[in-house]
């Protein structure tokens, strides 16, 4: 995909005229990251508006106890860091590649200038923030009230609903989700996650194919997420 075509695939930039996208593509830079490479850290100056081109990126913050709390797991085409760039304030969270990834980075001055001329950028960012805040609110409620197994099931369902591919054995996540990443997203320990997922594999709720999780029984996992399991 050419630079401007990829930029147009991002909802935040989709309404820009072709000439603006072409000009933006000339100042964009693609950077490659290995798994676990840092893209930016919480508190860094927000100098780049970023888009995941290939791979996966996790957005996280650290708790007072030093534990990573995963806020988002982003895939191809998804933006991050945009609000901090527009507001010219430090990044409020950290970003890290979870697998080999390419990130398209757009400089702050170019994005701020475009946002001044095209209010659609701010509108789309607001819609994106609204969706993410709703998801974050659901996660916080779950962390406060739900048992660990319900949280793990809800996390898997959320990822599958957003990106899962329907296949003969269920909904397949299109990426390798480590037990550690799943634990971080559900607010539990990796040991507990390993134990729960192992039980799900044995019970046939999930399968593992080519290092990817398959939700074999979506209804069974939904019952667990809603507290209706045994």
Q: Where are the domains of the chain?
A: 3-142, 146-225
Q: What integer best gives the mean pLDDT of the chain?
A: 88
Spatial separation of the C-alpha atoms in residues 214 and 39, rounded to whole Å: 29
Residue 230 has pLDDT above 60, yes or no: no
Burial string for 74-103 (b: 16+ CB within 10 Å, else e) reads bbbebbbbbbbbbeeeebebbbbbbeebeb
Average pLDDT for 140-169: 80
Residue 130 pLDDT:
73
Residue 181 pLDDT:
86
Parallel/antiparallel/unpaired status of strands 38-40 and 68-74 = unpaired
Residue 7 pLDDT:
93
Architecture of domain 3-142: Sandwich (2.60)
22-67 pLDDT tens trace: 999 999 999 999 999 999 999 999 999 999 999 999 998 887 777 7
Sequence-ordered list of residues with C-beta below 8 angstroms from that of 64, at least 6 positions apart, any chain:
none
- Give the whole-number percent of the chain exceeding pLDDT 70: 92
124-152 pLDDT tens trace: 888 877 776 666 656 555 554 568 899 89
Spatial separation of the C-alpha atoms in residues 208 and 230, rounded to whole Å: 23
**Per DSSP, which regions of 7-138 are E strands?**
29-33, 38-40, 48-54, 57-62, 68-74, 79-80, 94-97, 101-107
Give the domain 146-225 fold.
Answer: Arc Repressor Mutant, subunit A (1.10.10)
pTM of this prediction?
Answer: 0.74
Q: Do domains 3-142 and 146-225 have the same CATH topology?
A: no
Spatial separation of the C-alpha atoms in residues 77 and 6, rounded to whole Å: 8
Average pLDDT for 191-211: 94
- pLDDT bracket for residue 228 (50, 70, 90): low
H runs (alpha helix) in 174-229? 179-186, 190-203, 218-225
């Amino acid at each position: 995909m050419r630079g401007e075509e990829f930029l147009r695939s991002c909802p935040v930039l989709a309404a820009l005229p072709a000439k603006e996208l072409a000009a933006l593509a000339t100042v964009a830079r693609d950077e490659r990251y290995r798994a676990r490479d840092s893209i930016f850290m919480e508190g860094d100056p927000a100098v780049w508006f970023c888009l995941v081109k290939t791979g996966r990126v996790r957005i996280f913050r650290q708790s007072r106890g030093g534990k990573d709390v995963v806020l988002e797991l982003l895939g191809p085409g998804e933006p991050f860091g945009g609000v901090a760039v527009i507001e010219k304030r430090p990044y409020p969270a950290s970003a890290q590649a979870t697998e080999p990834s390419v990130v398209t980075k757009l400089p702050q001055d170019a994005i701020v200038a475009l946002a001044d001329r095209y209010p659609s950028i701010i509108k789309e960012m607001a819609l994106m923030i609204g969706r993410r805040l709703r998801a974050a609110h659901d996660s916080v409620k779950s962390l406060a009230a739900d048992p660990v197994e319900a949280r793990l099931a809800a996390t898997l369902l959320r990822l599958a609903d957003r990106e899962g591919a329907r296949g003969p054995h269920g909904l397949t996540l299109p990426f390798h989700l480590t037990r550690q990443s799943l634990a971080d997203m559900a607010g539990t320990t990796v040991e507990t996650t390993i134990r729960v997922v192992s039980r799900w594999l044995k019970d046939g709720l999930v399968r593992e194919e080519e290092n990817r999780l398959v939700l074999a029984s979506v209804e069974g996992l939904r019952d667990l997420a809603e507290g209706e399991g045994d």
